[in-house]
Amino acid sequence: MNARLPETSSIPERLASLRSAMAREGVAAYLVPSADPHLSEYLPERWQGRQWLSGFTGSAGTLVVTADFAGVWTDSRYWEQASAQLAGTGVQLMKMTGGQQTSPHFEWLAQNVARGGTVGVDGAVLGVAAARALGQALSARGVQLRTDVDLFDAIWPQRPSLPSAAVFEHAAPHASVERAEKLARIRRAMADQGAQWHFVSTLDDLAWLLNLRGADVSYNPVFVAHALIGVDRVALFVADGKVSPELAAALAGDGIRVEPYANAADALAALPAGSTLLIDPRRITYGSLQAVPSTVKVVESVNPSTFFKSCKTAAEAGHVRATMEQDGAALAEFFAWFESAQGRETITELTIDERLTAARARRPGFVSLSFATIAGFNANGAMPHYRATEQAHSVIEGDGLLLIDSGAQYLSGTTDITRVVPIGTPTDAQRRDFTIVLKGTMALSRAQFPRGIRSPMLDAIARAPIWEAGADYGHGTGHGVGYFLNVHEGPQVISHYAPPEPWTAMEEGMITSVEPGIYRPGKWGVRIENLVLNVPAGKTEFGDFLKFETLTLCPIDTRCLELSLLREDERAWLNAYHETVRTRLSPHVSGDAKAWLELRTQPI
Query: How far is it, in rounded angstroms, from Cα 462 to Cα 74?
Result: 25
**What secondary structure does DSSP assign to 414-445, as a single string?**
E--EEEEEEES---HHHHHHHHHHHHHHHHHH
Whether the per-residue pLDDT at 266 is higher than 90: the answer is yes
Q: Which residues sit opposite 199 in a β-bridge?
A: 228
Of 194, 206, 209, give the one whose Cα is nearest residue 277: 194
Tens digit of pLDDT for each residue in 389-401?
888 899 999 999 9
First to last CA, the chain: 73
| 3-class secondary structure, 456 | helix
Q: Which of 74-83, 208-217, 369-378, 543-552 has the lowest mean pLDDT?
A: 74-83
The pLDDT score that the predictor gives to residue 391 is: 87
Domain ranges for the chain: 11-155, 168-309, 311-600
Query: How far is it, in rounded angstroms, from Cα 411 to Cα 171?
Result: 9
| Residues near 171 by beta carbon (within 8 Å), at least 6 away in sequence | 211
Contact between 237 and 227 under an 8 Å Cβ cutoff? The reply is yes
List, in sequence order, the alpha helices (H) in 258-313.
Answer: 264-269, 286-290, 304-310
Check residue 345 and report its DSSP letter: B
Tens digit of pLDDT for each residue in 553-569?
999 999 999 999 999 99
Whether the per-residue pLDDT at 103 is higher than 80: the answer is no
Contact between 432 and 529 under an 8 Å Cβ cutoff? The reply is no
Q: How many CA atoms lie within 13 A of 74 on its CB side?
A: 28
The pLDDT score that the predictor gives to residue 98 is: 59
Torsion sign (Cα): 108, 110, 114, 119:
positive
Check residue 59 and report its DSSP letter: S
Q: Determine what percent of the chain is predicted with pLDDT higher than 70.
A: 98
CA 407, distance to chain mean position in Å, is: 12
Query: How far is it, in rounded angstroms, from Cα 213 to Cα 235?
Result: 17
Residue type at position 4: R
CA 87, distance to chain mean position in Å, is: 27
Average pLDDT over residues 262-277: 97
Query: How far is it, in rounded angstroms, from Cα 173 to Cα 192?
Result: 31
The pLDDT score that the predictor gives to residue 41 is: 87
Query: How far is it, in rounded angstroms, from Cα 308 to Cα 303?
Result: 9
Whether the per-residue pLDDT at 1 is higher than 60: the answer is no
Query: How far is it, in rounded angstroms, from Cα 384 to Cα 79?
Result: 10
Whether the per-residue pLDDT at 118 is higher than 80: the answer is yes
Average pLDDT, the chain: 94
Counted residue by residue, the chain has a size of 604
Query: How far is it, in rounded angstroms, from Cα 254 to Cα 231?
Result: 12
The pLDDT score that the predictor gives to residue 392 is: 87
CATH code for the domain defined by 311-600: 3.90.230.10
Q: Which residues sit opposite 348 in a β-bridge?
A: 395
* Cis, peptide link before residue 173, omega less than 30° from 0: yes
CA 507, distance to chain mean position in Å, is: 20
Contact between 208 and 181 under an 8 Å Cβ cutoff? The reply is no
Check residue 167 and report its DSSP letter: P
Q: Which of 79-88, 439-448, 495-504, 530-539 has the lowest mean pLDDT?
A: 79-88
Whether the per-residue pLDDT at 212 is higher than 90: the answer is yes
Average pLDDT over residues 562-582: 98
Q: What are the φ and ψ backbone dihedral angles of 257, each rounded to 5 degrees?
A: -105, 130
Q: CA angle, corner 107, sides to 102 and 113, nearest 5?
A: 160
Query: How far is it, in rounded angstroms, from Cα 284 to Cα 305?
Result: 14
Predicted TM-score (pTM) of this structure: 0.91
CATH: 1.10.3470.10, 3.40.50.720, 3.40.350.10, 3.90.1170.50. Which one for 11-155? 3.40.350.10
The pLDDT score that the predictor gives to residue 7 is: 52
Contact between 576 and 317 under an 8 Å Cβ cutoff? The reply is no
Average pLDDT over residues 432-439: 98
Q: Determine what percent of the chain is predicted with pLDDT higher than 90.
A: 90
Of 527, 518, 531, give the one whose Cα is nearest residue 557: 527
Tens digit of pLDDT for each residue in 310-342?
999 999 999 999 999 999 999 999 999 999 999
Q: Is CATH 3.40.350.10 correct for 168-309?
A: yes
User: What value does the CA radius of gyration of the chain take, rounded to a whole number of Å?
Assistant: 25
Strands of the 197-200 sheet, one edge to the other: 256-260, 234-238, 225-229, 197-200, 276-279, 297-300
Query: How far is it, in rounded angstroms, from Cα 118 to Cα 138?
Result: 9
- Judge if 11-155 and 311-600 fold alike in CATH terms: no
Q: Higher model confidence: residue 557 or residue 9?
A: 557
Query: How far is it, in rounded angstroms, from Cα 70 to Cα 54?
Result: 9
The pLDDT score that the predictor gives to residue 3 is: 43
Q: Which of 8-17, 522-531, 582-591 has the lowest mean pLDDT?
A: 8-17
Helix (H) or strand (E) holding 531: strand 530-540
